Structure 1
Amino acid sequence: MTARETAGREAPTPPPAPTAYDRRMRALMNRGEARPFYATAARRRLVVAAHIALTVSIAVTWGVAQATGRMWLLFVMIGLLLPWFLATGVINSATRGLLELRGRALDERQRAERDRVGARAHRTMLVLLLGGTLGFIGARVLGDTDVTVSLPYALAVALITHWLMPLWVAGLQVQDEPAED
């Protein structure tokens, strides 16, 4: 290569060094207290299923409270948040903070894994949104119903699902840790 050809190219810059915050978060995500909850694939699937069930319960409780005016249901929703936070922590611990840590705190393998999780979550959301859209169109055309009433709730469900899908996919895709000798 000539000097002219190499002058326009820049060498890839390595990611910046992890900061103290990155090191603290990495240590937090790699603590072992929750290991019994995610030690096997079946337990991880159970935690992800529980997280999905808690998310649905919280969303339904909120929707019913809004629709009926029974504001005491918000206390039920707050009570469901504690196990939801615990399940979120277990999934984050199982994935070693794959989605919570900044890129500079991850190695190349982890960054590639995060990209794979993001791509799978994106494809899954695409299928779910397509199904939901076809369902709304079908309800409007075939059912002769007014779907605009339920549209805000459907959008809230889509937003929550879009937000949490990468966490659920990561929790389901994480591999078992190698057995100790």
Structure 2
Amino acid sequence: MTTTTATRHDRRMYAIMNRREMQALSRTAARRRAWVAAHIALTAASVALWLGSVHLGPLWMPFALLALVLPWCVAMGVINGATRGLLELRDRMLDERQLHERDRVRAIAHRISLGALFAGAAGTGLAAWLGGVRFDGALLFPALFALLVAHWMLPAWVACLRVQDDAPDEVAHAG
């Protein structure tokens, strides 16, 4: 970490992303997987509720969406804490190893997004060609919006799943 050019904001964000008190929530791979799974479920539910409120219009959907905001933010905070701010901190706050890992995470997430887009395109193409299904565009916006959100969130999920467990002596000193 290079602190010579770090701003007050940089130092504050670094401190938030590296709080020892929060590291127990994501200390093991099983815990990190559970947090990522919970975040994926909360994200999917939020997207479904938002799209439902836009397209279907029931009055209860925006309130249900608001109820998901706090748990979504907590889960995102745990993910950011598990990665120690890998995707949130500026370049000047990361060392070379972290910068390399961030590039690697983004590359993996990009490949996953590309695979999802390819599968979606191939699936709709096959459905139209072999099944005679006509796509009128009613599902185009929801599908594209869901893919956009997945593309946006994938780097955080991948980064959290790639975090290595702390060495046993580091865990003893952290507790």
Normalised by the size of structure 1, how large is the TM-score?
0.87
Q: 2:55 matched to 1:67?
A: yes
Q: 2:131 matched to 1:134?
A: no
Rg larger for: 1
For structure 1, list consecutive stretches of 5 or more residues without a partner in the other structure: 1-13
Choose between structure 1 and 2: higher helix proportion. Answer: 2
Of all paired residues, the percent bearing the same amino acid is 49
Deviation at 1:146, TM superposition (A): 3.1
Map 1:137-176 onto structure 2 (within 5 A). 137-147=125-135, 148-176=137-165
Q: 2:92 matched to 1:104?
A: yes
Q: 2:72 matched to 1:55?
A: no
User: Greater relative contact order (Cα 8 A, min sep 6): structure 1 or 2?
Assistant: 2
Alpha-carbon distance in structure 2 between the residues aligned to 1:118 and 1:15: 24
Q: 2:11 matched to 1:26?
A: no
Deviation at 1:15, TM superposition (A): 10
State how many pairs are aligned: 168
Residue 118 (structure 1) aligns with? 106
Deviation at 1:64, TM superposition (A): 2.1
SS of structure 2 residue aligned to 1:25? helix
Distance 1:73 1:20, change over 3 A: same
For structure 2, list consecutive stretches of 5 or more residues without a partner in the other structure: none
Alpha-carbon distance in structure 2 between the residues aligned to 1:168 and 1:100: 13
Alpha-carbon distance in structure 1 between the residues aligned to 2:51 and 2:70: 19
RMSD: 1.7
Normalised by the size of structure 2, how large is the TM-score?
0.90
Alpha-carbon distance in structure 2 between the residues aligned to 1:83 and 1:142: 42
Distance 1:46 1:23, change over 3 A: same
Deviation at 1:62, TM superposition (A): 1.6
